[in-house]
Amino acid sequence: MIIDLPDTTTNAVNKRLVRLRDEGGAIALGRVLTLVVIARESDVETSIEAANDASREHPCRVIVVAPSGRRTTPHLDAQIRVGGDAGASEVVVLRTAGPLLEHADTLVMPLLLPDAPIVVWWPGQPPASPDDDPVGAMAQRRITDSITSKDPEATLAQLATTYGPGDSDLAWARVTLWRGLIAAALDQPPYEPVTSVVVEGQAKHTSLDLLAAWLGTRLRCPATVVRRRGAEAITRVTLERKSGPIILDRPDGRTITISQPGKPDRRVALPIRTLSEALIEELRRLDPDEVYGEVLTKGLQKVGA
């Protein structure tokens, strides 16, 4: 069910949510968090779809703040989505302009669930410092997506200089399965040190940088990123050792082949993670991700290109 509330106030939106709850059409009980999405108009529907998918594992109230067309005068148009249009969540879309858009914290504050953690997600270009953003300052977790920004590498470098506990990036969630496979491959004889690492893949995919930074930090060896035009995400990781390299190759974005000296090749299904899968991964923990913080602030600057 979708309810439009043109030219309204957040107080009126909140009253309508209470009325829906009283009527049994929406239930706030069992919501584990409030997910605030600061989106561009072009990202609204994609973000809502991903949040709805994530809400089936993490029931939440989703508040989307987006600009309202070309209008510049202060106003607020709202939309409430419940039931089949909202997954396991309640979705509130706030479209606004003018000074209201610059003070999104005052818009979302009346709609936050009481005593529930707050997570903020920027599906497009993030602020220079998520920790200092008015909405970000209210949140326990702040999720960015450097891959979708105008200049992914520059955005990742900027996030490294302004990192605060609770910051994270969906590019980091996209390498979780890679990290598990690499750790499993290294946890087999011969137990030799890795002398160098090369991560190859799509030119503007910042997951390459984060995976290389993690490997360089953990294995204490040089890590290099090789960018390939036309590639899909991460395509190949090579770990050099004295007895020969460990190679994890995924040229098609679906199946990875793991090659090690003296052992038969192994093939494992590893499709590129969707936006909703990456978001679900990030919402599984609400405490600061210390490993990501170390990789971003210390490991990233040591990665070669």
Show Cβ contacts of residue 23 under 8 Å, excluding neighbours closer than 6 positions.
none
Q: How far apart are CA 141 and CA 79, in angstroms?
A: 25
Q: Where are the domains of the chain?
A: 2-169, 170-305
**How is 159-218 classified by DSSP, letter by letter?**
HHHT--TTEEEHHHHTTHHHHHHHHHHHTSSS-----EEEEEEETT-THHHHHHHHHHHH
| pLDDT by position in tens, the chain (length 305) | 889 999 999 999 999 988 887 776 445 556 889 999 999 999 999 999 999 999 999 999 999 999 887 666 778 999 999 887 767 778 999 999 877 778 899 999 999 998 999 999 999 999 999 999 999 999 999 999 999 999 999 999 999 999 999 999 999 999 999 999 999 999 988 899 999 999 999 999 999 999 999 999 999 999 999 999 989 899 999 999 999 999 999 999 999 999 999 999 999 999 999 999 999 999 999 999 999 999 999 999 999 87
Q: How far apart are CA 198 and CA 224, in angstroms?
A: 5
CATH (residue range 2-169)? 3.40.50
Single-letter amino acid code for the residue at 105: D
| The pLDDT value given to residue 27 | 53
Q: How far apart are CA 172 and CA 291, in angstroms?
A: 10
Residue with tokens 């971003």: 296
Task: Answer yes or no: pTM beyond 0.85.
Answer: yes
| The pLDDT value given to residue 70 | 66
**CB 131 within 8 Å of CB 162:** yes
**In sequence order, what are the beta bridge partners of 232?**
none
**CB 90 within 8 Å of CB 82:** yes
Count CA within 13 A, CB hemisphere, residue 65. Answer: 23
Count CA within 13 A, CB hemisphere, residue 275. Answer: 20
